């Protein structure tokens, strides 16, 4: 399911002002259906649809009403780093996650976002992980806050990485 606003589809280049008011089923041409099915087998998600969703999408506030009523003084809260560890992840969902963290967290509280590439080696649309790694750094520096994007050459599982 992909949201559309009027006749403008939400794409990675869409602005953060784009808003999905009425989700509806997006119909794909035959070629897109084939690519969507291939991506479901490879990635366990529909990348054709994912690639059409804005990176700066608006995400609903799903907190309980009681939680929404609590007011925090941002000056009393410490800043934090967000660490996202991934390996062989599709890029649009990963970038959407990064954008969501950056857009939904008060700047005062977000020290940095660390993306740890745990030795990705899968090709995406004919490009190697190195191609996307080099380009993700360029993309991320366009939006605040600070980003650190280390890339490991060997696979280390998440628990081992936490110990370092």
pLDDT band at 9 (very low <50, low <70, confident <90, very high): very low
Checking if the pLDDT of 16 tops 80, the result is no
Q: What is the pLDDT of residue 47?
A: 81
Which of 35-44, 124-133, 143-152 has the highest average model confidence (pLDDT)? Answer: 35-44
Rounded to two decimals, what is the model's pTM? 0.63
Checking if the pLDDT of 4 tops 80, the result is no
pLDDT per position as a tens digit, 77-121: 999 888 888 888 888 888 888 888 888 888 889 888 887 777 777
CB 61 within 8 A of CB 20: no
Distance of CA 9 to the CA centre of its chain: 18
Q: Which residue, 143, 146, 148, 45, is CA-closest to 99?
A: 143
% of the chain residues with pLDDT over 90: 10
Q: What is the pLDDT of residue 152?
A: 61
**Helices and strands in the chain: count of H runs, count of E runs:** 6, 5
């Amino acid at each position: 399911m992909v949201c559309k606003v009027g006749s403008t589809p939400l794409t990675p280049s869409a602005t953060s002002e784009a808003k999905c008011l009425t989700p509806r089923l997006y119909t794909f041409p035959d070629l897109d259906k084939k690519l969507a099915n291939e991506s479901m087998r490879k990635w366990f998600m529909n990348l054709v649809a994912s690639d059409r969703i804005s990176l700066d999408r608006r995400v609903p506030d799903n907190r309980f009403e009681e939680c929404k009523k609590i007011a925090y003084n941002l000056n009393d809260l410490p800043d934090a780093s967000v660490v996202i560890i991934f390996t062989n992840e599709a890029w649009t969902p990963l970038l959407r996650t990064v954008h969501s963290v950056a857009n939904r967290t008060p700047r005062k509280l977000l020290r940095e976002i660390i993306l740890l590439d745990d030795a990705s080696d899968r090709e995406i649309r004919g490009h190697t992980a190195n191609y996307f790694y080099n380009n993700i750094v360029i993309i991320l520096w366009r939006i605040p806050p600070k980003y650190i994007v280390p890339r490991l050459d060997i696979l280390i599982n998440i628990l081992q990485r936490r110990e370092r």
